[in-house]
Structure formats: structure tokens, C-alpha cells
Amino acid sequence: MQYYGLIGHPLSHSFSKAYFEDKFKNEALDCFFVNFDIEKLESIKDIILQYPDLQGFTTTHPYKKAIFQYLSFIDRNAKEIGAVNVVKIDADKKLHGYNTDYIGFQELLEEAIEGKNINKAYICGTGGASEAVKFVLKKRDIRFEVLSRKDDSYQRLNNTGFHDNELIINATPVGMYPNSDDLLELPYATANSSNVFIDLIYNPEETRFMKEAKKYGASAFNGLKMLQLQAEAAWRIWSL
């Protein structure tokens, strides 16, 4: 039996395990998926020893950047993005890093902004997911601003409000189950029908971030499609 897994902390919100277990069952694959909820990334060494049939794993918060130190090979796109969410383990137990988040976000973005004339994006968050978002926006020539709690960028936006044809992306865990009542402090009341809100969270299906956007006429999308697409891309890498 081949093993695959997910590494992160915490993993109470994990999408991957259920998705891959369904895939393995539906396609009659002799594979098993394990959630590795680890508080320290160095535990990865013990996991590889304990699971000799582990073929690969995905990474989530907070290890998409930290995993680099354990990799023997890094795909060109992952290197440019600066984050890895898929790791393949070769026959010599060396780790190869890839990024499929950008593949998922790329298609989600196309759906979300179809028919819109987006001229600027705001990215909430500075973690690994936001790096994939920036990569895609650069390729689409959409200028963007990253909002971080480490500076006054959120306050500045709240002072000016949103303008027409702007895209707002939540790449933070704020509002994720079980903390579904949490909400980023943004000037939602200044949004309108020309604005698009994308929440990379998929649980709950409709976050408060999305509800507030819709309240003022903006369109809003969750991250489920992105997760499904990046998971399928991960499987293609593991199956090579």
C-alpha cells in the first residue's frame, strides 16, 4: 500500500484527507492518506522513517515556506513563488518540492473575474498561499498591494475604502472553521458590484468575508475550486 499525507498545524480544517480518500476509493487505488498534525517541522524526519511507503505529501500553514530547508530539489515555479505545497519522495528518500496552489488559483481567478475589468488587487496575508496569488497576478499583469498586520496597510485601506474594479483576496486563515465568526477589518461598505472578493478558505462554504462583500453588491467566491484543482495537480506529480 502506498501512503500520502498532509503536513501542517492545526489540521482540524483539512480538506485533503477526505478528498484523497474519496479519490482512492472511487478509483480503486491501494493508497492511504494520513494527516500529520505536527507542531515542529523537524518531525518530518521521524514521519519518513515511520512511514517507509510514504510517496509524498502536501503542506499547509505554517510550513509552505519553511519546508524549503528539507528539499533536495525545488521546481522552478515553486522557487519563483517562494512556497511549496506539494512534496514528492523519491526512491532515495529525497524530497522534491512543487507548487500547485498557483494552478488552482489561476483557474479560480479566471472564473471570478470573467467579464470584469479588474485594475488592482488587494491580497490579505503574507503566507505561502499569498505567494502563489502574487505569482498569478503578476502573470496577468494585475497590479496588487499586500495587506499585512505588520504595518499600517490595513488602516490605510480602511481610510480610503475600495474603488471600482478592484479585487480583494483573503489569503489568511481569518474566518476559517472553527473560528467562523472572525472577520478581517476591511471597508466592506465601500464595495460595489464592480468588485470581486475571493476567500481562499472553503470551510465554511460562505465565510463572513464573503457575506459582507455580497451585502454591498460585490461578487464573492470561496477557495474550494482552487483546492480541488491543486489536489489533482498534486496527484499528477506523485503519479509521474
Long-range contacts of 25-32 (CB under 8 A, 24+ apart): 30/1, 30/2, 31/1, 31/2, 31/3, 31/4, 32/1, 32/2, 32/3, 32/4
State how far the Cα of 135 lies from the Cα of 125, in Å rounded to an integer. Answer: 14
C-alpha cell at 152: 499600517
Q: Is 138 a catalytic residue?
A: no
Q: What does DSSP say about strands 54-59 and 86-89: parallel, antiparallel, or unpaired?
A: antiparallel
Q: Which among 25, 64, 79, 150 is annotated as catalytic?
A: 64
C-alpha cell at 101: 496552489
Catalytic residues: 64
